[in-house]
Amino acid sequence: MATVNRQFTHVVVEQPGEPSVMTMTQSTLAMPTEGQVTIKVYAAGVNGPDIKQRVGAYPPPADASPIIGLEVAGEIVAVADDVTQWQVGDKVCALVPGGGYAELVNTYAAHCLPIPTGYSFVQAAALPETFFTVWGNLFIRGGLNAGETVLIHGGSGGIGTTAIQMASRLGATVFATSGSAEKCQYCLDQGASVAINYNEQHFVEPILEATNGLGVNVIMDIAGGDFINENLKAISTDGRMVSVAMQRGPQANVDIFRIMAKRVIWTGSTLRPQSVANKALIAQGLAEFVWPLLNSGKMSIPIDSVFPFSQVVQAHELMESGTHKGKIVLDLQADPC
């Protein structure tokens, strides 16, 4: 195992609250344990769960780092003795169980993927969390296949952008919703066939019209709340609905008969608490089916904004504003702390 300086700078949240509660401190990182690697972080993605953790609504699992951050890109600087698929010096992007807003992080070797061809660290850091989320939910749990139709809510966000591109490139017809004409055009630019502004138009009718009354085969829902029953109107017989967030609320008054009549399968998941083995299976699927699309340039996830590490507060403020289109990334090489 390589020797590396384990002192590192990272974000700390002393008390849950507004973005300004985030400050910087230094700590010593433990050596990687069985199956793990240490990554020197050059860039880290900013995601919705990071906001929830900062405000105290999404505590990390007991065995995870309490430091915010779920995805990084950088260079492997240490490996556990049993790790054979990666070596010191390899450039990777990775899903991490926590600890991403830091100069060093430990994560599992099986949750690392190579930097796609032509990608910078900043671009690569925008991939893991949303790609693992979309593949695990839309393709594994939702079973989306080529030739099917899918509705993706929140199409202009990080998860939505990834889902639109992944589904369309793998042969599905994509319908998307978003909250403005500009964001709807963005969804079309990413590969959606139809984009609906839910602030101006009810989404059920145009979907039923476009599918000759059949509805869509799969719905990837980040809304929850009052959208659930509307989803059940827009979904096809034997359709699958996958819940991945609850932006319109965690409670829904559900028409159970409609689920029964249409034989709808309703599932969902959160990524972070899943087992190491489950996340490794997701990584394998991404490597086999999605990374070739990235390497060939057929997929390219837009980045809305890049902030130096020292401006993590501003990055969270932008994320909370909801005005971004695509991903937000922290660049740790811009102004090392």
pLDDT in tens, 12-46: 999 999 999 999 999 999 999 999 999 999 999 99
**pLDDT tens digits, 170-186:** 999 999 999 999 999 99
| Residue 267, helix vs strand vs coil | strand
- Residue 203, classed as helix, strand or coil, is coil
pLDDT at 4 over 70: no
- The DSSP symbol for 118 reads T
Listing DSSP states for 21-82 in one string gives GEEEEEEEPPPP-TTEEEEEEEEEEE-HHHHHHHTTSSPPPTTS-SSS-SEEEEEEEEE-TT
Taking a C-beta distance cutoff of 8 angstroms, is the pair 332, 43 a contact? yes
Q: Which of 95, 34, 10 is nearest to 272 (CA)?
A: 95
Around Cβ 26, how many Cβ atoms within 10 Å?
11
- What's the pTM value of the predicted model, to 2 decimals? 0.94
pLDDT at position 325 is 81
The pLDDT value recorded for residue 305 is: 96
- In this model, does residue 1 exceed pLDDT 60? no
Domains of the chain with CATH codes? 7-132+272-331 (3.90.180.10), 142-268 (3.40.50.720)
SS3 assignment, position 221 = strand
